[in-house]
Amino acid sequence: MTVPFIPGKTVEVPEITYQPEVELPAASSAVIVVDMQNDFVKPGGALANETADVMVPRLAALLDRARAQNVRVAYTQDSHLVGDPEWSIWPEHCRVGTWGWEIISELKPRPDDLICPKNGYDGFYGTWLDHSLTRVWHVQQLVIVGTVANICVLHTAASAGLRSFNIVIPADGIAALTEFDQAMTLRQASWLYLGKVTRSTADIRFAA
């Protein structure tokens, strides 16, 4: 696969190594669901992405398997107040208290899940995610899914990798705006942060 680089030239996308299956110890693993909110997923959302909506049943099935093994689940929730400078980059979205800000009903958090509001791309920056994962849950492995692949998913994966978490990203569990963005995210996560990449959420197993 080649993609435009500069006018008249192309760049080859480096090979991405996919794991046929990944089995994780349930007791020290968590699933991080990144920004699966109405504004990013559902028709009528301010920054809705059809690829995010399509993958919802796959994420629901992954969460069911995880919860069946008592794997922890955490959500990041993009959260903005009026006047947030991010709205100079993107249209107004995820305003606290609105329908667009809410996590989609199909992936509704359960009482024991963690919800981490954030006002930037990184799910760790300025939130209690790291404290909860390390100090409270004693987690070492993270399965990271959600939207958008090369923005909030990748920034969150980067922070996780820099904190020495073992990260796993299923290719069909992250929503991208372009094929290039998808490939870049998987390449960075697997190469720069030594993460494991699978083709499908179905390739991830949790063992007691």
The mean predicted confidence, pLDDT, of the chain is 95
Residue numbers of the chain with a pLDDT score lower than 50: none
- Reported pTM: 0.94
Distance in angstroms (rounded) separating the CA atoms of residues 27 and 140: 9
**33-84 confidence digits (pLDDT tens):** 999 999 999 999 999 999 999 999 999 999 999 999 999 999 999 999 999 9
3-class SS of residue 94: coil
Distance in angstroms (rounded) separating the CA atoms of residues 180 and 192: 17
- In the chain, the domains with their CATH numbers are 24-207 (3.40.50.850)
pLDDT reported for residue 143: 98
Q: What are the contacts of 94-101 at 24+ separation with CB within 8 A?
A: 94/35, 94/37, 94/39, 94/40, 94/46, 98/39, 99/38, 100/37, 100/38, 100/39, 100/45, 100/46, 101/37, 101/38, 101/39, 101/77
